[in-house]
Amino acid sequence: MAELEINVRLALEQAPRLKNFLGAEFNQDWTLDWGSVEAVLKARIDEADETRRRELLREAQLLLRTLHSDDEFVVLLDFLGSGLVPGIDIDESPRTWLKHLHDRMQSGLSGV
Mention every residue, 6+ apart, whose C-beta is less than 8 A from residue 94. 70, 73, 74, 76, 77, 86
H-state helical runs in 34-93:
37-41, 50-66, 70-79
Q: Locate the domains of the chain by residue range.
A: 3-106
- Within 10 A of 8 (CB to CB), how many other CB atoms are there? 24
pTM: 0.89
* pLDDT, tens digit, 9 for 90 and up, residues 52-64: 999 999 999 999 9
* pLDDT, tens digit, 9 for 90 and up, residues 65-107: 999 999 999 999 999 999 998 889 999 999 999 999 999 999 9
